[in-house]
Amino acid sequence: MSLTDHNIASRLLEWFDVSGRHDLPWQQNPTPYRVWVSEIMLQQTQVSTVIDYYTRFMQKFDSVQALAAAPQDEVLHLWTGLGYYARARNMHKTARHVVEQYEGRFPTTAEGLVALPGIGRSTAGAILSLSMSTREPILDGNVKRVLARHYKVAGWPGKSDVLNTLWECAELTTPHERVAHYTQAIMDLGATLCTRSKPACEQCPLRDTCLALHEGIPTDYPGKKPRKARPRREACMLLVVRNGNVLLQQRPASGLWGGLWGLPETLANETPEDAADRLGLACDPPETLPDHLHTFSHFQLNISPVRLKVIQEADAVMDDAGSLWYNIARPAQVGLAAPVVKLLDLYCKQDS
């Protein structure tokens, strides 16, 4: 494939000046810190969802120093419901690294930024272009879609050869002037017009040179990820209730819902009664509740909740640093996984 600029930048900038988004909260005072937080939140998440989370996050942590000084539980609490919690854990690590190693200033090169936890090449490009006006290309999901359609780049972008071609396109089209506006413009185009389904091609400023549109097949690009059946896993979660409190346990730092607080789970071949004994609790007979199916990107988790009302407890539970009696009426500010929030709302509010 021969790559030709086709004057993308100038047309995108003309369109952006009139039709682009100029009032997103992270566009106001676009410091490296503010841009970085927004870019991490926007990974795998739509703008409409991120706005409220971003606003609350900035109210609590208005600087990288404030974020670095916060306990991880506070960070995860503000992230609850946003998903992909490794993003929050990596943000916390990066904030501390920036404060401790860089005196609170973000690196000013792509290489320096990529060396930090959770920052890839595209995120580094966004930080540099949007907050420092440094000419650095980006390639988030929206930009991949725009470039794949415009240049008719076949194949799934998860394949290295396809991704490399798209990076060539991104490098080619990024201008030397108004870099921040161009970066926002091409992201906006993918988010508002060049959408995954039903793209508004008739309104697109690149319609005259879009190769996929000329062939009448814009939605064939980019190529789809090969489909695999999602495996299903099973988990029995225990809603252990005592005087308006629910027993939570902190999950390991890595893995599923790493660092978040969740409900105790039965072990393999363990009954809820056995689990209560293991926890040092005497409970009423268990109450089996309806199953809940939670879908992740790569598997489904079928949750079988069981409610246990505590009659008597041993001291071991209260002495365990990894356990917490969570007050439903006055909840602690800790990070909870989305299905745990749902189960607490459905089955425990009445116990408060």
CB 316 within 8 A of CB 247: no
**Residue bearing tokens 């879609």:** 145
Q: Which residue type is seen at 215? A: E
- Cβ-count burial of 209 within 10 angstroms (0-12 exposed, 13-18 middle, 19+ buried)? middle
What is the distance between the alpha carbons of residues 170 and 119, in angstroms, rounded to a whole number?
18
CB 223 within 8 A of CB 157: yes
Dump strand ranges (E) for 82-221: none
What are residue 262's phi and psi, to 5 degrees?
Answer: -135, 180
Q: How many CB atoms lie within 10 A of CB 77?
A: 20
Dump strand ranges (E) for the chain: 232-242, 245-250, 261-262, 281-283, 287-288, 292-295, 300-313, 323-327
Positions annotated as catalytic residues are 39
Q: From residue 49, give the alpha-carbon distance in Å to each of 52, 53, 351.
A: 7, 7, 31
